[in-house]
Amino acid sequence: MIMLLEQWEKLPSIWKKIILKEWLLFKKCKFPLSVFLGDDSYGLNFLLCKALGIDSSEPEKDLKQLEDIISTGLKKIDENTIYEIFSMQFLYIPSEITYIAPLKYFPNIKVVDFHCSNESRITDFEILRRQSTIYVLDYADYQIVDFDKYSNIRGIDNVKYIKGYGFPNEINDIYSELNANYIIYE
């Protein structure tokens, strides 16, 4: 556990904040991945507000309350939560994240989701070179990131880069990779 605490301390604050939100949404609240991956109109923060029961007709207040919950959670995080976070197999990478080097702390990662994070300019995916297959999702209805243009993503054999407009055909493969540890459907 000491090693995990050291890894946690090394994470940039933006990473800590985002992965704590994802842990809350997908692990603690057991929010279904199919809903998250199928509907990009609300975003992580609003879905988490809904899952935590703090959604109201005043979204600015809801987001402020969510930020307070996350700030408190970061101050009081325990070893078990850190262990569960670093054991996560699915991570959504929003556009605030501009590098993925911290993924080295996630040995069980199976899916890295960029869908609808269209400002991301990550160029180096070498950290994903592993023995197991890792799906990288880049799909949307209106604009994809298109890592082919400027990154090394296609040169990493174990990465299955799924890009395109609309819902990916490979989604059932992705769900089958995650169904032992995540709620897939409502």
pLDDT of residue 30: 96
When pLDDT is averaged across residues 81-110 and rounded to a whole number, the result is 95
Compute CA distances 69 → 42, 45, 48, 82, whole Å. Answer: 19, 12, 11, 17
Q: The whole model's pTM is what?
A: 0.93
CA-CA-CA-CA dihedral for 44, 82, 108, 16, to nearest 10: 40
Q: Coil, strand, or helix at residue 129?
A: coil
When pLDDT is averaged across residues 17-44 and rounded to a whole number, the result is 90
Give the domain ranges of the chain.
2-178
| pLDDT higher than 90, residue 117 | no
Pick from 26, 41, 3: nearest CA to 92 = 26
Under 8 Å between Cβ of 178 and 154: no
pLDDT digits (tens, 9 = 90+) for 56-68: 999 999 999 999 9
| pLDDT higher than 90, residue 81 | yes
pLDDT level of residue 116 (50, 70, 90 thresholds) = confident
pLDDT of residue 41: 64
Pick from 25, 13, 27, 161: nearest CA to 97 = 13
